[in-house]
Amino acid sequence: MIKNKLPLVLIILLALFLRVYGVNWDQGFHLHPDERMLIMVTDRLKFFNQLNPDFFNYGSLPIYILRASAQLIDTIFRMQISNYVGMLYLGRYLSIIFDIGTIILIYKISRLLFNNIKIQIYSTLFYSVAFFPIQNSHFFVVDVFLTFFTTLLLLLLLKYLLLPSWSDRPKMVVVHGIVFAAMLSTKFTAIIFLPIISLILIFKNRNSLRKCIFDLLFFYLLSSIFFFIFMPYAFIEYKRFISDISEQIKMNNDPYIFPYTLQYVSTIPYLYYLRNIFFWGLGPLISTLSLLGLIFFVRYQILKIKYQKHTSKIKYFIFNMNFLYFIFYILYFIVIGRSAVKFMRYMLPIYPFLTIMAGYGLFQISNIKYQITKLLTFSFLLFTFVWSYMFINIYSQKHTRISATEWILQNIPVGSRIAIEHWDDGLPLFAGENYKHVELPLYGQPDDEKKWQEIKEKLNSTEYIIIASNRLYVPLQKLSDCKKYRACYPKTAEYYRKLFNQQLGFKKVAEFAVYPKLEVGSWKLEVDDQSADESFTVYDHPKIMIFKKI
């Protein structure tokens, strides 16, 4: 038993190192906007005097966990971390703890599904070294918590299907209600799992109407009670809660509503997510193994159903826990994948599914009885580590906004006029009072002469232009065709074209970029990830350009 658990312990230690490494990636400047907002909300709270977050774009539970943890640490260890700075790091360490919890759950789920130690090790290892979970563990964001609770719910549902007696089921229903309430009070999109939970409760008790009704009502009641406990102001301030949730739903159905979602105009549902998962989230190798594993998995289940003799094929198909595992994640992908706004982190909850499939895929390859398969297995694992190492290298380099700030303070004279783009973090990060900032309203509509007359006047009196990320120039250049797009930016696209070609009277004098890379002596390999979803690069390694008037 101890021998079997040793690989898991080693994998957890590796995962912990990868997640702690570079946790101070922004040197405390709060450069992740969602994280910054959550910390600001948490900073307003205090147990048990003030618990109204006055903010419902995300659930309250992660905020409460952070605030309670900070106050508890202050009380027990007489520290002072219940503040805007201290809770930034505590929030990131909480993300790490919850993501490590997800790794343990992956190990348990793969054991339930396959009862094979190799698959368990491969699955947990792939999740541990996949860069996207590592990256999000460096932020205090609700998606890490949602991934943990979602994976925990799946494990509980699988165990519920295996329960032999009625006496154990009420206890499991209690736990289901608590976990589902935790999911809802982390991110309300978790509501999409309610039909699956309800169907499982019905199917498990299909031979007893009384037990079926009892489990359903008990689950709904407990979910409601604990949702109130975890997020009380969703009830107390229900009008504000409904308003915030409605706004989020509108945003997910219309990328034109907010400037920062224009990047998703005309992106293809499902395929956009899959492309980013393949190239950046998991990387090409784990993604390929995941696809192979999924093919092997579905084929095996079809064969099991085909040769099933002891019960009807339909009943076996519905009640099989492998089918539950499959449909649980497919439902999430179908519902979320069709959204108009496609931040990569929205798909974080399906990464456990993908890495378990990758583990199964590698196991099937390694199980082929040829000598070369051992070499292939070793090569796959080695390449996975190298790929992850390249991306983790981001955190060994100074954040580009900090590098740019240092350059600005050293090379731009005090009192200079600097043009910055609205809806983006301004630079320099500190000592900004030494400069006169001019904001360029490039998102403004309509994109007409009046707008550009105002911008040209600002540019005429500006000595430097700072582009702090690709937040604006990528989507606004794409939206140049007024016949094709509801909000179009032909003049803004032309402005960027001329600026980058040095036809506006400004010359690029500095560029700051950090790419995933591998260096061996004088040899260097870099991966240009600027084509990834904006949210993949813009927080911890945005590309920054500085232009000076000629």
End-to-end CA separation in angstroms for the chain: 71
Q: Give 205's pLDDT tier (boundaries 50, 70, 90).
A: confident
Contact (Cβ atoms closer than 8 angstroms) between residue 151 and residue 99: no
Tell me the whole-structure pTM to 2 decimals.
0.94
Do 46 and 148 reside in the same domain of the chain?
yes
The whole-angstrom separation of Cα 72 and Cα 82 is 9
Number of domains in the chain: 2
**Residue 81 pLDDT exceeds 70:** yes
Q: What is the mean pLDDT of residues 14-23?
A: 97
Percent of the chain with pLDDT over 90: 81
Q: pLDDT tens digit string along 417-428?
A: 999 999 999 999
Residue given tokens 């005309």 in the structure block: 266
**130: which 2 tokens?**
């996949």
Q: Looking at the structure, do residues 330 and 345 belong to the same domain, yes or no?
A: yes
Q: Is the pLDDT of residue 336 over 90?
A: yes
Closest CA to 362 of 129, 19, 532, 98: 129
pLDDT the model gives residue 366: 86
- The reply to whether 452 and 305 lie within a common domain is no
314 has a pLDDT exceeding 60: no
Q: With CA atoms as reference, report the closest residue to 138 among 40, 56, 15.
A: 15
Determine the Cα–Cα distance for residues 354 and 206; give it in Å rounded to an integer. Answer: 31
Burial of 103 (0-12, 13-18, 19+ CB in 10 A): buried
Q: What is the per-residue pLDDT across 90-133, written as a single tens digit (0 to 9) for each?
A: 999 999 999 999 999 999 999 999 999 999 999 999 999 999 99
Q: Output the pLDDT for position 317.
A: 47
Tell me which residue of 190, 111, 185 sits closest to 348, measured CA to CA. 190
Q: What is the pLDDT of residues 235-246, one digit of tens each?
A: 999 999 999 999
Residue type, 212: C
Element housing 213 (H / E): helix 209-230
Q: What was the pLDDT predicted at 420?
A: 97
Between the CA atoms of 356, 362, 363 and 364, what dihedral angle is there, to the nearest 10 degrees?
110
The domain boundary residue, chosen from 343, 362, 394: 394
CA angle 390, 285, 322 (to 5 degrees): 130
Q: Name the phi and psi angles at 508, rounded to 5.
A: -70, 120
Q: Among all chains, which residue has been given the structure tokens 């409601």?
A: 224
Residues 530 and 405 in one domain: yes
The answer on pLDDT for 542 being more than 70 is yes
Task: Show the domain range for 513.
Answer: 400-549
Considering the domain architecture, whether residues 316 and 178 belong to the same structural domain is answered as yes
Last residue of a domain, one of 360, 394, 428: 394
Whether the pLDDT of residue 305 is over 70: the answer is no
Do 389 and 406 share a structural domain?
no
Q: Are residues 381 and 405 in the same domain?
A: no
- 99 and 121 in a single domain? The answer is yes
Average pLDDT, the chain: 92
- Average pLDDT for residues 513-527, to the nearest whole number? 92
- 162 touches 115 (CB < 8 A): no
Instruction: Please give the Cα distance from 134 to 127 (Å, whole number).
Output: 9
Per-residue pLDDT tens digits for 132-175: 999 999 999 999 999 999 999 999 999 888 877 666 778 889 99
Does residue 289 surpass a pLDDT of 50?
Answer: yes
Domain boundary among 367, 394, 421: 394
Query: Which of 6-15, 288-297, 371-380, 461-470 shows the lowest mean pLDDT across its residues?
Result: 371-380
Report the range of poorest mean pLDDT among 185-189, 211-215, 409-413: 211-215
Decide the pairing of beta strands 544-549 and 464-467.
antiparallel
State whether 309 and 414 are in the same domain.
no
Contacts with 190 (C-beta within 8 Å, 6 or more apart), sequence order: 146, 149, 150, 180, 183, 184
Name the token pair of 390. Answer: 């390249």
Cβ-count burial of 439 within 10 angstroms (0-12 exposed, 13-18 middle, 19+ buried)?
A: middle
Are 18 and 156 part of one and the same domain? yes
- Quick one: 138 and 267 in the same domain? yes
**What would the two tokens of residue 470 be?**
């690709």
* 452-506: pLDDT as tens digits: 999 999 999 999 999 999 999 999 999 999 999 999 999 999 999 999 999 999 9
Give 363-405 pLDDT, tens digit per residue.
999 887 666 777 888 888 999 999 999 999 999 999 999 999 9
Nearest to 111 by CA among 162, 169, 146, 171: 162
Both tokens of 208, joined, read: 């007893």
Q: What are phi and psi of 498, to 5 degrees?
A: -70, -40
**Pair (345, 379) in one structural domain:** yes
